[in-house]
Amino acid sequence: MSVNQRWSNVTTITPNGPEFRDLLIQGDRFMAFIDADEVTSSDWRRIDGHGAILFPGIVDLLQHGMFRHLYGDAQPGALAQTSEFLLSCGATAFLPSFGCTPAPRMFEVLSDLGRQCAEAEGARALGVHSEGPCFAEPGAHNPANLASPSVELAQKMLEASDGTLAAVTVAPELPGAEGFIRHLKAADVSIHLGHTFAAPHDVPRYVSWGIDAVTHIFNAMPPVPYGNMGIHPYSLADALLAEPDLAIGLICDGIHTDPGFIRLLAQLPEHRIFLETDAMKFAGAEDQSFEFYPGYRVHSVKGNAVHDDKGGLCGSSLTPDEAMANFMSIGGADLTRTSHATSLTPARVLGRDADMGSIEVGKLADFVVLDPSSFGVVATYVGGVEGFRAQT
């Protein structure tokens, strides 16, 4: 149960920069910032942060698994357990995601994960992200499970999810994609471009259909070969970066995306970049092997990534706090810039930024207490209630 809290001796990271005044939390919401010498009534619990950093809770829009669960398996209790584990990683909200799956199993997974969202009592499960099945470039997904987009498919996905479908990744150049995208957008589903061979000059048209974001920039979108004229070809990634309001998803491990690109992306306007782990089963747990789909075995290695037997990438072993740390250490971003990438921009992509994604008056009190030296997660609060505290 939440109580009225007054946090003192802390540095609070807001969208506009660090705030050094005391932070008031009333119930499950941020209430105000006040000067240290301002008096409050006795019903406010004073908390001395001892110099800690208060950082907005991380929002992860793409993770296929975490800890010991692969969401595509839709095992009972998976989201409940994972949501508790995510608090130790500084995440207060996430989208459980699953890959290309054939019908009717796809609809069963949508239904099962949708119901499990309500069971998540740690990090908030904001809905389900269907990464596929309408892809042109399968990447690590099962190519036998690809499907053509259509209004009929979109409607069946909506019905199966019973209102919990939050995001869909699609290759927009496929026949039928426009109707598919527009139908999902009308139901407030966030549309992400990915796993695509889309022609760069067609990107503005696709964005006009309602595409909100890009799934893992530079991955599963092959570049244009360099010609012999000495001119850099205009690639799909270039076209996506040229769209002024398109949010770009980044797997920030220095493996899926070259560190040089991470430094480049960290210099774009704050609303353009968001971090997504694309994590797989055993992320944050241990080094382990598992089947992503029947006959396709992959290996998760902490601090590296998930690879198949041939060395091909199949998602990451990142946890949300590791992605945050990488954005600062590799990208050179400060805490304020990083908070946009980890929290505010992904919340905005989902249309949830009025309630979450930053420490601002009136928003839900979802935040992380960070060690001021290491930026490690000390504690995590959801709705003003402590859900995790690191052992000292």
Please state the pTM of the whole predicted model.
0.96
Under DSSP, the state recorded for 264 is H
Number of domains in the chain: 2
> Quick one: 41 and 112 in the same domain?
no
For residue 215, the domain's CATH number is 3.20.20.140
pLDDT under 70 in the chain at which residues? 1-2
pLDDT at residue 227, as a whole number: 77
pLDDT at residue 276, as a whole number: 98
The b/e string for 151-178 (b: 16+ C-beta within 10 A; e otherwise) is: eebbebbbebbeebbbbbbbbbebeebb
> Quick one: 25 and 157 in the same domain?
no
For residue 371, the domain's CATH number is 2.30.40.10
Question: pLDDT tens digit string along 87-98?
Answer: 999 999 999 999
> Quick one: 274 and 336 in the same domain?
yes
> Quick one: 321 and 245 in the same domain?
yes
CA 202, 184, 122, 313 torsion-angle sign: negative
Say how far apart CA 369 and CA 381 lie, in whole Å.
8
- Residue 378 structural domain: 5-55+358-389
Say how far apart CA 74 and CA 71 lie, in whole Å.
5
> Quick one: 216 and 274 in the same domain?
yes
pLDDT at residue 228, as a whole number: 74
pLDDT at residue 232, as a whole number: 85
> Quick one: 202 and 263 in the same domain?
yes
